[in-house]
Structure formats: structure tokens, C-alpha cells
Amino acid sequence: MIVYTKSGQDIKGILQGGERRPSVALSWAWMAAVVVLGASGVPILAEQQGDPASPSPAAVATGQLVIDVTDVLGQDLPAQVELQGTDAPRREVVEVPEGKLEAAVPVGQYRAYVYVYVLGVPVMVEAKDVTVTPDRPAYILVNLLEGASGNRSLLDFDGDCDFAIDRVEKACGTDPEDARSIPGRKRIVYDARVFEDEEGWRRGELHAHSIYGVGKETVARLVRRAEKAGLDFLAIADRNTMAACKDPEFKSDSVVLIPAMEWGNDERGVSLVYGPATFPGFVKSIAQAQALVDLVQAQGGFWAIAHPCFPTAPWQWGLAYVNGVEVWCREWNAVPPLSPTTLIEDMTERHEGKYVHSIAFAAASAYARTPLVEDDGPLLSANGQAAIFYDSELVRGLKAAVIAGSHTASPKVAMAEPVTYVYAAEKSVRGILDGMRRGRTYVSSGLKGPRIRFCADVLQDGTVDVSLGGIIPYGVPTRFHVVVENAKGQDLQVLLNGYPLISKQIEGKTFALDYDHTPENYAVYRVRVVGPATAKGFGARDVLAMTSPIYAEELDLDNPELKEVKAAYQEWKKRREAALEREPGPPTDPGQGEIIPKWRF
């Protein structure tokens, strides 16, 4: 514990006995854990585990550090100071909630990185060297010009969206136009080789665990398993650590190894972070978590919500603009559903009788009763709920890819069951991540499971205009084309905003379906293959494969090359306006609607 002196009073920033106390704490490297409570009393921060061999704080000589952070108008700015040892490996973090603070800090030489809070998010505004001695105070004085006046906020001075202003980056020698290059942050190095330069579908495992997490296998054994299975890519995602990526055996000449991490905790839920350029650190608030999502994306990474409806770690972060959702984890019907009573109060908020958050709506769907269903058991598995969560978010405007993972933590759990397919321009980390970000994905029960092709032909002129992840204009007649392999006897469903629009039995090993449809407003189309449940579990049906969406929304059609599309849209618009004069239609804003599924898994 570190004791700060301010106005003659001691401030202890460690939570004691479960009681919430002022969060003005310095994180010692050897502290096992620090937990900060959210508005609902739920932990949202788990501090990084430290080195047990480090000396105890009582054995370290300390000196006085005086911190004063203001803008040029003289206003005190809430700040955070990160001290990185330059004479010894250590890291300390000092919170300065009112802009001024005197702290007792271990004696030594440091590189100090000063952050100012903007909407609760720390933004780096200064970097300087400081030496702390036991006999005289050391000073960190910041008088900030950027963002002090005018119409520009502090974030407007951060050109690459890495939450470090450009002036500081230039002074530190990092690239102010590259979010992967941040002062004081080590860059994650990965194998950037291109294994194959031809575009096409790649298949792999996106959620495996090693001995650095809950797994029982070394990195080497996981890599060998992926090679033996003939996978194109593998992501080892251990909880809050990227140690697997630093393992000497994290290498392969045939499998693309994607640097990854499972981020979060059981109380709020977890994410899968792929391809970050710097370590995705720990946060103290929802706002900081959202900023971390933005940073990972600016670095070219991919942020996915992991198994959102698992009862052990339901998704309660409420983050926006994620890249993907792990709709399928483990066997489809194996994991029991999430109960609404498990969620924190914030997540069960209602407006006009409807749930505000998709997670609550999905949780309640597993227990919805109808006159045709009289038993008391849940209708869905956790994965079935995750599909409802996904559809609900899509209808509200989210554009995100579907992914899946086996969560394998031992050889007893087969790898790539379920498997994720990604259409990539090349077989490389960059190619796989780019295909995922573009939404060019579908998931299947395994390597021998169904394969799906789904595309759209705007104007029905015989040309493929968009595939998975693409956008078509609404109001224009469109022909959708679906091809399914390895699913004879199962059912093919085309979903529109979560509802089955078309359902056909698959009659052969290769089955093709063309159907015409004109989207009338914002719409989400995707495809899935379903069949009777083949194993004991939760729900009467299995999902065997499902795709990411094709979206329909209003587009700018003034491009001369879209002359025919624009003409078709204007003709449709006239007919629609005439119809609406007779009878008002549904709202076009996806945020005004809510999915009420009419199917059972």
C-alpha cells in the first residue's frame, strides 16, 4: 500500500473489506490484484499479476514526488502519471484526480508519461524524465496548451487515434500517424510472412487455451495439433495475457498464428482481441474499455465479444462498434442458457416494457413460453441465446462478423469444432484479420460440416455485386444466391432481421437456392443451416452453420456507374410513397425495433 499526502491528510487508494474507497492509488508491480467497483458494485478491473520475487514495499526507500497538471488557463486537470523505471525494471501508476498531488514514490530514475482524462479516458499529453531521491522533492509540472480553448478538444490533437497527442509522439520519436507506435509501449512482434498470396477461403481455430491460461497444453502442442488438422490459422487466447505469443514455440511454417488474448473478467464478460499492436491493458471504466476497442481497431486488430450468453461470464460491458461476435463456442447445445436473474441491474433496464440491452433480451428468450410449449425447461442453449443477441445487435445497426471457437483447453476437446471460415486476400496474419474486419466469415460445426456461399446480385443482371459483409442499397430489386455443401437432409434458412424469410430442405450434397427480394428499409440478411439435435443438451435443434450478414441500407447513388440502380431505386421510392399514403409502414430506423424470434433452436 502507498500512502499519499494531500492537504495534510492520508489517502489510501486500496479497496479494503469490500468497501469502496477513494481510488487514488499507485499500482505496485508486486500487488496481486486491485479491483475497482462499477456503478452496480460489479468489479470491472483486475490488475495485472506481479512478480512474487519483488521486494515488499516496506523495504523500498521512497522520495517525494510533486505533481501539478493544469491547462494554460490555470484550470486543474484530472490526470494519471505512469512511471517506468529507467535504472531498474519497475512500473508505478499514480492517479491525480484533482490535478495536484504529493506522493511517496520509490527512489529511482523514471520516464514519466502524463495522461489527462478526457470523458474518463486517459490521453497522453507529456513525457519527461524524473529522478526521485530521498532528500529532496521531484517535480512533474505540466501546463497544457492543446484543448484549452477554441472548438478543438484534446482528442483532435491525436491524429492516429492512439490516445497520445501528436506533439508528444514527435518528441518521443514514435510515429504520430501510426497507432501501433505509442510512447512507452512495447510493440507486439508477430510472424508477418505471407504463406500463400492467392485469395480464397481459409479455415481455423480462433479460441484455444494454453498452459499460460486455463489450458493443459503447451504452445508447441497446440500448434502441432493445428498443423495436423490442416488448419490455415490458429489463435491462442489466454485470459488477460499474451504470454503464448512470446513463447519460443509460437511458430509454424504452415499455420498462420494470430496474436490474441481473451480480455476481461467473469463479472462483466470477456472479449477476444486479435492482432493488437500493443498489450490491451486493464481499465477502470466502461469508457476506458470503449477507448481500448477503438485503439485495437486503429492498430488494425479485431475486437470480438466472446460467448456473450455463457452463464459464467455474461456480456455486460455494453461496448459499441465491436468487430465481431463469437456466436458459437463449444458444442451448439452443450452449454446451459443464461438466466436474466444472473445479470446486473444495469443490464435489465427496460423502456416502454422492452429490454434496452440485447443481452437481457437474449437471456429472457430462452425461457419464453408459448401455448405450444408447456414444459418448464429452457428452449435454448447459451449459443442459441448468443445468436439472438447477435441478431438483436445487428438490427440495431451493428456491423460485425460472426466467429466461432472450440475453447479447447486440452486434447480431449477437438480443435476447430466449431470452425471459422474467413475469405482472405492472402494467407497471412494481415490477410486473415482484414477478411474478418470486412465481415467475410461464416462458421460451421467442423471441418467436415456444411460449407456456405452467400452473395447478392443487385438489379438481378447476372453479376455478383456483394458477398458476406457487403452492403446493398434498399429499394432496389436484388437476387440472393446461396450454395450449401455437406448438409444433405438438413434445413437451409435465409434470415431477414432475425426472422426466417425462406426455409428449404437441402436435397443434395451441393444445394443451390436463388431468391429475389427488395429490401424496403435497413435490413440484415444472413444464412444458416439447422437440423434436429443430435446430442443431449439444451434446445431441440442444432445449428450446423451460419454466415455473417449482407446489409441493406440507404446509399449514395449519384455515381454515374450506378445510373440503372438509381433509376430502379427512384421507381421503388415512388411506389413506396404511394403505398405509405394508404397505410403507414414500419420504422426505418433499426434502433426503433427489437427482434422477437419466432423459431426454436
Calculate Rg over the CA atoms of the chain: 26
* pLDDT single digits (tens) 489-503: 999 999 999 999 999
Q: What is the mean pLDDT of the chain?
A: 86
Instruction: Work out the pLDDT band at 414, boundaries 50, 70, 90.
Output: very high
Q: What is the 3-state secondary structure (H, E, C) of 32-53?
A: CCCEEECCCCCEEEECCCCCCC
Q: What is the DSSP letter of 5?
A: E
Cross-strand pairs, 205: 234
Give the 3-state secondary structure of residue 503.
Answer: strand
CB 381 within 8 A of CB 367: no
Provide the terminal-to-terminal Cα distance of the chain, rounded to the nearest Å: 52
pTM here is: 0.86
- Predicted pLDDT at 379: 82
Pairing of β 471-473 and β 401-405? unpaired
3-state secondary structure (DSSP) of residue 229: helix
Share of the chain above pLDDT 90, in %: 75
pLDDT number for residue 81: 98
Range of lowest pLDDT (27-41, 189-203, 285-299): 27-41
Q: What is the mean pLDDT of residues 160-179?
A: 97
What gap in Å lies between CA 390 and CA 358, rounded to an integer? 8
Cell of 277: 499492436
- The confidence score (pLDDT) of residue 569 equals 63
pLDDT exceeds 80 at position 279: yes
CA separation for the pair 557, 402 (Å, rounded): 29
- Please give the Cα distance from 334 to 380 (Å, whole number): 10
pLDDT band at 334 (very low <50, low <70, confident <90, very high): very high
Judge whether 3-172 and 200-553 match in fold: no
Strand ranges in 425-539 using DSSP code E only, listed in sequence order: 441-444, 451-458, 466-467, 471-473, 478-485, 491-496, 499-505, 510-517, 523-532
pLDDT at position 17: 32
pLDDT at 266 exceeding the cut of 60: yes
The pLDDT, as a whole number, for residue 47 is 38
Confidence of residue 376 (pLDDT cuts 50, 70, 90): low
Q: Give phi and psi for 140, each to the nearest 5.
A: -125, 105
Residues 72, 143 contacting (CB under 8 angstroms): yes
When pLDDT is cut at 50, 70 and 90, the band that residue 35 belongs to is: very low
**What does the pLDDT look like over 224-234, one tens digit per residue?**
999 999 999 99
- Summarize pLDDT for 417-452 with one digit per residue, the tens: 999 999 999 999 999 999 999 999 999 999 999 999
Q: Strand runs (DSSP E) across 192-291, as ranges?
A: 200-208, 233-236, 256-265, 269-274
The pLDDT, as a whole number, for residue 459 is: 81
Q: How far is CA 170 from the centre of its chain?
A: 30
Higher pLDDT, 306 or 585: 306
How far is residue 543 from each of residues 173, 356, 390, 527, 539, measured CA to CA in Å? 51, 27, 14, 11, 10
Fold category of 3-172 in CATH:
Immunoglobulin-like (2.60.40)
Q: Is the per-residue pLDDT at 31 higher than 70?
A: no
Q: Is the pLDDT of residue 586 over 70?
A: no
Q: What pLDDT score does 58 carry? A: 53
Question: E strands within 360-485?
Answer: 401-405, 419-424, 441-444, 451-458, 466-467, 471-473, 478-485
Model confidence pLDDT, tens digit, residues 449-498:
999 999 999 988 888 899 999 999 988 899 999 999 999 999 999 999 99
Q: Are 436 and 468 in contact, with CB atoms under 8 Å apart?
A: no
The string of DSSP codes covering 305-364 is E-STT-TTS-------S-SEEEEEESSTTTSPPPPGGGS-GGGG-EETTEESSHHHHHHH
Closest CA to 236 of 187, 188, 272: 272
**pLDDT above 60 (res 580):** no
Question: Do 373 and 580 meet the contact criterion of CB atoms below 8 Å apart?
Answer: no
Contact between residue 292 and residue 280 where contact means Cβ atoms under 8 Å apart: yes
Residue 114 C-alpha cell reads as 502524463
Residue among 289, 238, 259 nearest 188 (CA): 259
The whole-angstrom separation of Cα 243 and Cα 139 is 36
| C-alpha triplet 50, 56, 60: angle, nearest 5° | 115
Q: Which CATH superfamily is domain 200-553 in?
A: Metal-dependent hydrolases (3.20.20.140)
Predicted confidence (pLDDT) at residue 397 exceeds the cutoff of 50: yes
Alpha-carbon distance 439 to 423, whole Å?
A: 9
Q: What is the mean pLDDT of residues 148-157?
A: 90
pLDDT in tens, 536-549: 889 888 999 999 99
Asked whether the bond before 57 is cis by omega within 30 degrees of 0, the reply is no
Domain range summary for the chain, segments of one domain joined by +: 3-172, 200-553
